[in-house]
Amino acid sequence: MKISRRARLMRRLLGHFVQDEQVPLPQRRVAMDRAGKLPKPRRVDYAETTVGGVPAIVATPTAVEPDRHILYLHGGGYMLGSAQSHIRLGARLAKYAGAVATVIDYRLAPEHVYPAAIDDCVAAYRDLAARVDPALITIAGDSAGGGAALATMCALRDAGEPLPACAYLLSPWTDLTGSGESVTTKNAVDPMIDGELITFTAKMYAGDRPLDDPGISPLFADLNGLPPLLIQTGTDEVLLSDSERLAERASAAGVENELDLHEGMWHVYQGFVGFMPEANAALIRGARFIRAKSPAVVAS
């Protein structure tokens, strides 16, 4: 399957834009947050707030009165990213899904190691679920945010709390041990991340905990009782094995799931929504899933 001309161009350009680990972390964070200065979707209200004590940006489409809510957890290896860097992606998803999107600023490593990020995600969800029927909430996230979404749902289930209607996971990082086959076999074709650096990044987040701790690597968690999952990634993805094994383990646990693979796409290709037709189509598929699993009218 051929990829679009824009995708081919983006693949060539990515090598010039993605910064390596030699660049100081503060500079890399600033560079990633510059994504928030790109044009954001129009007919959306943007508000800075806190949710469960966690800083956040809320994107509310104005053309409709959305009932659904999306709690969006950004990627960045648990060391980079913010609500600012991902609000454009969250807002576009909100418009497609007819939902309000809350993109949170969970605490980052190495200043704050596990479980700080997951604690923040849980706190934000609890706050949202106190105001919105959980049957109208989707947890979504890309890369580390996808793994955080999975770990958050496991923590909520273990605490006996109501779970969201579904989860939309974009190129989720679920195995921080780096044991997936694709970490090696796809490293030469994924222009976004370097598989050789996964363990280093993971250790910064895990602190003194083992990398196979289920809270850190939710691929190894008990997945029983989780809501439906849409797991979406590309075939040229360093973390492809994370998604494939997650789908297998979810099915074995009786969890409804769909593995949505796009030929020739790389890590979090959905982030180029508005620039690449493949990214647009992916978010539309994600929005269709959210609409189906969290109907606007919930039976009492």
pLDDT digits (tens, 9 = 90+) for 244-281: 999 999 999 999 999 999 999 999 999 999 999 999 99
Tokens of 73: 């957890």
Decide: 192 and 267 in contact? Cβ < 8 Å: yes
Q: Which of 237, 241, 243, 262 is catalytic?
A: 237
Is the model's pLDDT at 231 over the cut of 60? yes
Q: What's the pLDDT band for 299 if we cut at 50, 70, 90?
A: very low
Residue 55: strand, helix, or coil: strand
Active-site annotation holds for 74: no
Is the model's pLDDT at 78 over the cut of 60? yes
Global pTM?
0.96
Domains of the chain and any CATH numbers:
5-293 (3.40.50.1820)
Tokens of 207: 């602190």
CB-based contacts of 205, cutoff 8 Å, min separation 6: 77, 78, 79, 109, 110, 113, 114, 117, 144, 176, 216
Residue type (1 letter), 77: G
Tokens of 85: 């860097």
Tokens of 115: 């479980």
Q: Is the dihedral of CA 106, 286, 152, 298 positive or negative?
A: positive
Shortest CA distance to 13 belongs to which of 280, 290, 225, 275?
275
Is the model's pLDDT at 22 over the cut of 80? no
Active-site annotation holds for 278: no
pLDDT in tens, 115-167: 999 999 999 999 999 999 999 999 999 999 999 999 999 999 999 999 999 99
Decide: 75 and 107 in contact? Cβ < 8 Å: no
The per-residue pLDDT for 36 is 79
Tokens of 108: 């980052």
Active-site annotation holds for 111: no
Q: Which of 82, 85, 143, 182 is catalytic?
A: 143
Q: Which of 82, 171, 267, 278 is catalytic?
A: 267
Decide: 30 and 84 in contact? Cβ < 8 Å: no
In whole angstroms, give the CA distance from residue 10 to residue 167: 28
Is the model's pLDDT at 99 over the cut of 80? yes
